Structure 1
């Protein structure tokens, strides 16, 4: 549970509570690797964030794989202040073989995930671009690239 933040263009920012509902919380929790949302919070219940407010008026059906797939005003387009930061409370069950996802620094708000690993924090790197998941070519892939992916997925 906590304030919901997303990483976009290399910067962490918050999600405004305008239009935020249980469907949005469900997608956020699933993106974080949990089975379900218990509830969502508004009015900076978990404290006010810093930096940009990346998402506002997010509308999800509840079946999307990530917040980037939901309808919203556009990255960084918001009339909110940090007193309107949204939060989520997710179920304690982690999805088996699933790992957190994070938006990367690309200009289109791509989302990354790890798939087919036997343990949390391992697996094939996949990127969502234009609604399609694809793999990352290993040409010139090195420890620095792997470290960036791990940090973006919340593995320090």
Structure 2
């Protein structure tokens, strides 16, 4: 299993790892990005780099004020790049982001429950590599328990788990296989 973690961007003060104020690391310090210099294509790249689903909300002043310095360049992403710092950019002199103008972003969470009318019940599916697939838990008898299910519920803002069951799907299809130690 290969894992790549982003060391150059983060979303802070949000409800989960896929929402918050965007900060970019440069010269070992974190800086904000001005809302005026950020668009939908840039948001798509950020959400992809963080392993989240598509951007669902882009606005300033949602996740509190910041003392972080402002970022000094505009990102010119085309939307297909794998990382924000891989996008073209236009350098400019140091900018001042006025209050409430830092980029704040909500990406869809990369997990969801499908197959029922409730967003808090169903088969666990995960978004990765630009597609949704059901999740198959590796060695589920040993690795899947109430704590694992509660971690998923918590990430989905659905409280704690009240029921969990590992089922075998009789139809053949591609799945994402995980170990519950990832939770």
| TM-score band w.r.t. shorter chain | 0.5 to 0.7
RMSD: 3.0
In structure 2, relative to structure 1, the CA distance for the partners of 1:64 and 1:41 (3 Å cut) is: same
Q: Alignment partner of 1:72: what SS?
A: strand
Task: Tell me how far apart the structure 2 counterparts of residues 29 and 52 of structure 1 sit (CA, whole Å).
Answer: 22
Q: Distance in 2 between matches of 1:3 and 1:13?
A: 10
Alignment of 1:66-145 (within 5 A): 66-74=83-91, 77-93=94-110, 95-96=127-128
2:67 maps to what in 1? 50
Query: Which runs of 5 or more structure 1 residues have no equivalent in the other structure?
Result: 98-117, 123-156
Secondary structure of 1:13's counterpart equals strand
- Highest relative contact order (Cα 8 Å, sep 6+), 1 or 2? 1
Which of the residues 66, 76, 79 maps onto 1:62? 79
The number of residues matched between the two structures is 101
For residues 82 and 60 of structure 1, the distance between their equivalents in structure 2, rounded to whole angstroms, comes to 25
SS of 1:57's equivalent in the other structure is: strand
**Contact 2:22–2:103 (8 Å) recurs in 1:** yes
Tell me which structure has the larger Cα radius of gyration: 2
SS at match of 2:48: helix
| Matched position secondary structure for 2:91 | coil
- Contact 1:57-1:73 within 8 A present in 2 as well: yes
Partner of 1:22: 40
Runs of 4+, deviation exceeding 3 Å: 73-77, 94-97
Q: Structure 2, unaligned stretches of length 5 or more?
A: 1-18, 112-126, 130-177
